[in-house]
Amino acid sequence: MLTQSKIQQAEEALQKAKVKMNHRYRLGYHIMAPANWINDPNGLIQYKGEYHVFYQHHPFDENWGPMHWGHVKSKDLVHWEHLPIALTPTEDYEKDGCFSGSAVDDNGVLTLIYTGNIFVDREKDIVDQSQCIATSVDGIHFTKEAANPVISKHPKEGSGHFRDPKVWRHGEYWYMVLGTRKGNTGKVILYKSKDLRQWEYLGVLAESDETLGYMWECPDFFELDGKYVLIFSPQGMEAKGDLYNNLFQTGYLIGEYDYETNKFIHGSFTELDHGHDFYAVQTLLDDKGRRIAIGWMDMWESNMPTKEDGWCGALTLPRELTLGENIEILMNPVEELTFLRELKNSVCTDKSFSGTHLVETKEDLIELKLEFDLTKTAAESVGLKIRGINQEETTLLYQIENQKLTLDCTKSGKGEDGVRRTKVESNQVLSLRVFIDRSSIEVFVNDGQATLTSRIYPKEERLGIELFTENGDAHVIDFTYWKLKDIWR
C-alpha cells in the first residue's frame, strides 16, 4: 500500500510538471520521461514479446534526486509508451534511492535487480550500497522482496560503492556483475546464484590499472560473435588527445572468458562513442539474437538547458552491436528505426561538387545518409553543417589526409567544449548516417566503425543542411534525407 501511494504521488507530480513543460527541445523519437529528470537506462529486457526499458528517474524535480525507476515499453524499439513508475524508494535499505540495475525473465516473472542506496556522508562521498530484488507478473506492478537486500555487503575487494547489478543466465546459473572501487581502483566483480536470492561471490572479473579510473559504474558482460565483452563506465580517466574528453567515459574490454576459472583475458580499453553525451550503457539480447545497446544521452555535470523547461535527460537510440574485422565493436541503429521515415528526399546521386551546397529544409527531425567516394575526391576535407539562423550551426568535418572526423557543436549550445574528434580510417568511401532530433545528434560512420553522440541546443529555427568541401571538389555517391516521425505527438 505504501508503495502504491508513493507511486501515485510521483505520477501526480509528473502530471503537474507536464502541464508546465516548455517543449522547445523535447525530442521527437527518443526515450524521455514524461517530465523531470532521468539518467541511466536500466532493466533492458524483452518480456512477453515486448521490449521494456526502465530508467533512473526523479519524478519530482528536473534535477537528480532520490532515484525512482521510470518505465517505457515498445513492440518494435521505435514506438514507446510510458508505463507507471516501477520503483520508488520506500524502504530503509534504499532510503536514498533505487539505483541502476537490470531485469531478467525468471520463468515468466519479470525480476528487477537493483542497488539500494544509502548516503552515509554525502560530503565525503561515503555510501552504503546493497543489491535488491523486485518482481512482477504483469510487467507493470512490482513487489519488493521481503528478504531484501539479497546482497547486503560488499566483498573485501570492494567498498560501499558497490552498485549497478547486471544479471544474465548461463547454463544452470544466474550470473551478476557489479561495479565497485577499492581506494582509487575501479573494478568489476562477479557473483553467481541458482535462484537470484542466494549469491555466491566469485571474485574480481577486471580492474583498473593506474589509467582506468577510480570507480567503474554500470558494467555489462556478454558474449558477442565468439568473444567476451565487458562494457563499463569508468570514472577518473584522464583525457588523452582526442580520447576520453568527457567528465566520465564509457568503453569496453574484449577477450576470452572461462566460466570455470573466472579468468577474463582481455585487450586494452576502447572508448565506445566519441561524442559528448553517451554514458551508462546497458544491453539486452533479443529473440532475434541481437545484442542491443542503449545509453544515457547526457553527461554528469554538463550544461543541461532543458532544466529550465521542466525536464532533463534522454536515452540514445537503440543500437545493434556486432564485432568488426579488427575485433572491435561496431554500433549501428537497429533496423526498425527505418519505421520512423516519413518523407524521403533524394538530393543527389553520383555527383561532384565543390564549395557549398545548401539543402533548404526547416525540418527538425531528420535522418540523413551521405556517402562520399574518396577515390574521386580532391578536396582536403568534406562535411556538412546543420544550419540555424544567426550563424548557429552544428558541423561534421572529415579531413581526408589525417583521417579525422570532427563534430563541432560550439555554435549549437556546447560553447567552448563544443568539439569532439575521432580517427576514422576511410580510404574508399566515407559513409555518414546521421539522426538529428530537436536537441540531439547521433552520427554513425562507415557502418558503425565510429559513432558520435551529442546533445545540441540550437536556439532558433533550422535553415537547412549544407554540404561543403574545402580546397577542391568531392564526389557524392548518395545524399538522401528523410523527415522523421514524432512518436510522442
Residues that bind ligand FRU in the complex, under the rule CB under 6 A = 39-40, 56, 67, 99-100, 115, 163-164, 217-218, 279-280
Nearest distance, CB of residue 296 and ligand FRU, angstroms: 6
- Which lies closer to ligand FRU via its Cβ, residue 219 or residue 458? 219
- Min dist CB 164 to ligand FRU, Å, is 5
In angstroms, rounded to a whole number, what is the distance separating the alpha carbons of residues 140 and 118? 26
- What's the min distance (Å) between Cβ of 217 and ligand FRU? 4
420: cell is: 569532439
Q: Is residue 225 flagged as an active site residue?
A: no
Which of 40, 128, 364, 437 is an active site residue? 40
Nearer to ligand FRU by Cβ, of 177 and 467: the residue is 177
CB nearer to ligand FRU: pick between 165 and 418: 165
- Nearest approach in angstroms of CB 429 to ligand FRU is 36
Nearer to ligand FRU, 248 or 444 (CB): 248
Toward ligand FRU, which CB reaches closer, 47 or 99? 99
Task: Decide: 417 and 455 in contact? Cβ < 8 Å.
Answer: no
Pairwise CA distance, residues 298 & 306, whole Å: 12
- What residues are paired with 207 via a beta bridge? 187
Q: Which is nearer to ligand FRU, 40 or 371 (CB)?
A: 40
Helix (H) or strand (E) holding 109: strand 109-121
Q: For residue 444, what are the CA distances in angstroms to 68, 157, 296, 440?
A: 32, 39, 17, 13
Inter-CA distances, 257 with 98, 184, 185, 224, 265, Å: 31, 25, 22, 12, 6
Task: Give the residue from 483, 387, 371, 382 showing the smallest Cα distance to 435.
Answer: 483
Distance CA 365, CA 468 (A): 21
Cβ nearer to ligand FRU, comparing 148 with 449:
148
* Least distance to ligand FRU, CB of residue 130, Å: 12
Q: How far apart (Å, rounded) are the C-alpha atoms in residues 399 and 305?
A: 31
Residue ranges of E strands in 259-325: 263-266, 270-271, 279-285, 291-296, 311-312, 319-323
DSSP notation for 182-222: ETTEEEEEEEEESSSSS-EEEEEEEE--TTS-SEEEEEEEE
Cis peptide before 149 (omega within 30 of 0): yes
Least distance (Å) from ligand FRU to the CB of residue 56?
4
Q: Output the nine-digit C-alpha cell for 76.
A: 518494435
Place of cell 533548404: 360
Q: Which three cell numbers, joined as nine digits, stand for 438?
A: 530537436
> Which residues are designated catalytic?
40
